[in-house]
């Protein structure tokens, strides 16, 4: 096992397209690092550079203590799982698993032992004599995993390994991947475009956009403290709600006003986000997570620090345990380059409502006990401790430690 360090890594394709731009990333020994971003953000390219399948245009990649820039893939001691599995079709499952070990001139008994162990771990024992064509998608995926496991490499590289599976299988494979990592503790770099996968699997998650690193942090921190509008809009489903708002301070304390609503901003927010007070009296972009809403009826009582706003539900999506309430507010939609980029490649397609120019569609996630129907009015409460503020120009989160001084 080893750490993987990328320093100032560039990838320029023929024609001058820069797929990866000055990427700095340290993946610790035994860490599960997820690279996530919309398609074309350079995440797969970054992974393929670590694997040695793509040349590195600039910078340095080291695995363990070795700089591997000019090492061929076979000398990097890594194993990779591909999106389309890439099994050897003319070999049985057993031969598929053993191929990499045979090439390393491992004694037969050791090969047999490792293959059997991996097969047992992945539940492939009864399929060892079969060829890939006679396996289901999930089984092929497990063979691909097994081929990586038997090698006992320094690191696993996984390129969207679950995206060809159906939804249910993907969830169960996600859980087994988690277990597998707990058990083996091998450094893993995992590429996905699915932010749910990123949140659930990663020890840390690295968000990329157009070849630039946006933020590397634990899933919870990415969710709670996104560094900019892009990360805020990309992580979390349904996506964060945005609106232009004015930050004001009067006799009763600080508040943000937007679309005819006025939400008090608690004092603790100002201590949490240094530099926010400089925006008093100015325009900011306000962000509120759908999960920070609650139906005031269902939430009755717990209103300390919660502000109330009356809205009319346009669409409700009942998910069983909760309801997504889609409603319009009287504010023009935020059209910052970051929010547009995040929304375009977001996993979830928002319900397309015909909106007039000065309305924007927000989503609130409320408890299923709310029983709200489309067209009904309801009063939502907002947890004002979790308001997010972004600079109108740069799109950076105000008061985020990474942005101080930027």
Partner 1 sequence: MTATTRRDAAPGRPAVRRGAAPARSRMDMFGPLSHIALVIWTILVVAPIIYTFLGSFKTNTELFGGHSLALPEHFHWDAWGRAWDRSHIGRYMFNTVLIVGISTFFTMLLGSMAAYVLSRYEFIGRRWIYLLFVSGLSIPPFLALSSLYKVVQNLGLLGTHTGVVLVYVAYSLPFTVFFLAAFFRTLPDTVAEAAMIDGSSHTRTFFQIMMPMAKPGLVSITIFNVIGQWNQYLLPIVLLPGDQQDKWLITQGIANISTSAGYEADWSALFAALSMAIIPVLIVYIIFQRQIQTGLTAGAVK
- Single out the segment in contact with partner 1 by CB under 8 A; choices: 59-67, 126-134, 166-174, 204-212: 126-134
CA-CA distance, 167 to 154, in Å (whole number)? 30
Among 13, 88, 129, 369, binds partner 1 (CB under 8 A): 88
Nearer to partner 1, 68 or 255 (CB): 68
Among 60, 104, 330, 379, binds partner 1 (CB under 8 A): 104
CA-CA distance, 355 to 361, in Å (whole number)? 8
Residue 133 sits in the site that holds partner 1 (CB under 8 A): yes
User: What share of residues in the chain are helix, strand, coil (percent, to 5)?
Assistant: 30, 30, 35
Site residue total, partner 1 (CB under 8 A): 32
Residue 129 sits in the site that holds partner 1 (CB under 8 A): no
Residue 134 sits in the site that holds partner 1 (CB under 8 A): yes
Residue 100 sits in the site that holds partner 1 (CB under 8 A): yes
Residue 107 sits in the site that holds partner 1 (CB under 8 A): no
Nearer to partner 1, 140 or 365 (CB): 140
Phi and psi torsions of 96, nearest 5° = -60, -45
Among 4, 19, 80, 162, binds partner 1 (CB under 8 A): 80
CA-CA distance, 293 to 278, in Å (whole number)? 27
With CA atoms as reference, report the closest residue to 353 among 379, 327, 378: 327
Query: Would you give the binding string for partner 1 spanning residues 209-248, x where CB under 8 A is met?
Result: ----------------------------------------
Cβ-contact 378, 323 below 8 angstroms: no
Among 78, 115, 222, 387, binds partner 1 (CB under 8 A): 78
CA-CA distance, 70 to 131, in Å (whole number)? 35
Among 46, 68, 87, 245, binds partner 1 (CB under 8 A): 87
b/e for 42-81, b at 16 or more Cβ within 10 A? bbbbbbbbbbbebebeebebbbbeeebeeeebeebbbbbb
Phi and psi torsions of 24, nearest 5° = -115, 120
- Single out the segment in contact with partner 1 by CB under 8 A; choices: 69-77, 179-187, 309-317, 329-337: 69-77
Nearer to partner 1, 188 or 363 (CB): 188
Residue 352 sits in the site that holds partner 1 (CB under 8 A): no
Cβ-contact 284, 263 below 8 angstroms: no
CB atoms within 10 A of CB 168: 9
- In angstroms, give the least distance from the CB of 348 to partner 1: 24
Nearer to partner 1, 84 or 257 (CB): 84
Residue 51 sits in the site that holds partner 1 (CB under 8 A): yes
- In angstroms, give the least distance from the CB of 50 to partner 1: 11
CA-CA distance, 234 to 232, in Å (whole number)? 6
Which alpha helices (DSSP H) does 9-129 contain, by range? 43-51, 93-103, 108-122
Nearer to partner 1, 150 or 342 (CB): 150
Among 82, 138, 169, 200, binds partner 1 (CB under 8 A): 82
Cβ-contact 402, 215 below 8 angstroms: yes
- Single out the segment in contact with partner 1 by CB under 8 A; choices: 133-141, 221-229, 365-373, 389-397: 133-141
Residue 405 sits in the site that holds partner 1 (CB under 8 A): no
Distance in angstroms between the alpha carbons of the first and the last residue of the chain: 36
With CA atoms as reference, report the closest residue to 96 among 83, 106, 105, 87: 87
- In angstroms, give the least distance from the CB of 7 to partner 1: 23
Among 21, 26, 30, 53, binds partner 1 (CB under 8 A): 53
Name residues contacting partner 1, limited to 149-178 (CB under 8 A): 151, 164
Could you tell me the two tokens for 206? 């690295």
For binding to partner 1 (CB under 8 A), which residues are involved? Answer: 51-53, 72-74, 78-80, 82-90, 99-100, 103-104, 131-135, 137, 140, 147, 151, 164
């Amino acid at each position: 096992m080893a750490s993987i360090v990328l320093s100032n890594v560039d990838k320029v394709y023929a024609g001058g397209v820069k797929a990866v731009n000055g990427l700095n990333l340290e993946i610790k020994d035994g860490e599960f690092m997820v690279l996530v971003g919309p398609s074309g953000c350079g995440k797969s390219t970054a992974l393929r550079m670590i694997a040695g399948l793509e040349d590195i245009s600039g910078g340095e990649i080291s695995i363990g203590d070795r700089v591997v820039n000019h090492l061929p893939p076979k000398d990097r001691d890594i194993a990779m799982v591909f999106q389309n599995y890439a099994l050897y079709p003319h070999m049985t499952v057993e031969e598929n698993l053993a191929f990499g070990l045979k090439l390393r001139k491992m004694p037969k008994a050791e090969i047999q032992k490792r293959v059997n162990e991996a097969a047992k771990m992945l539940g492939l024992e009864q399929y060892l004599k079969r060829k890939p064509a006679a396996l289901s998608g999930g089984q092929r995926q497990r063979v691909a995993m097994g081929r990586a496991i038997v090698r006992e490499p320094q690191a696993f590289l996984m390129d969207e390994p679950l995206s060809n599976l159906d939804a249910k299988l993907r969830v169960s494979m996600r859980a087994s991947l988690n277990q597998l990592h707990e058990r083996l503790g091998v450094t893993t770099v995992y590429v996905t475009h699915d932010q749910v996968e990123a949140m659930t699997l990663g020890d840390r998650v690295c968000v990329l956009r157009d070849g630039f690193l946006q933020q590397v942090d634990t899933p919870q921190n990415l969710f709670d403290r996104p560094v900019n509008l892009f990360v805020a809009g990309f992580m979390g489903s349904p996506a964060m709600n945005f609106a232009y708002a004015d930050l004001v301070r009067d006799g009763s304390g600080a508040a943000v006003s937007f679309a005819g609503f006025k939400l008090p901003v608690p004092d603790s927010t100002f201590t949490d986000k240094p530099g926010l007070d400089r925006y008093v009296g100015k325009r900011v972009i306000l962000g509120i997570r759908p999960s920070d809403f609650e139906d005031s009826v269902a939430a009755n009582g717990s209103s300390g620090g919660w502000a109330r706003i009356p809205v009319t539900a346009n669409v409700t999506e009942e998910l069983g345990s909760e309801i997504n309430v889609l409603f319009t507010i009287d504010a023009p939609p935020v059209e910052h380059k970051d929010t547009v980029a995040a929304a375009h490649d977001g996993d979830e397609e928002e319900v397309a409502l015909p909106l007039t120019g000065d309305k924007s569609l927000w989503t609130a996630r409320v408890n299923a006990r709310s029983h709200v129907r489309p067209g009904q009015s309801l009063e939502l409460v907002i947890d004002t401790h979790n308001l997010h503020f972004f600079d109108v120009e740069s799109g950076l989160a105000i008061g985020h430690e990474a942005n101080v001084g930027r």
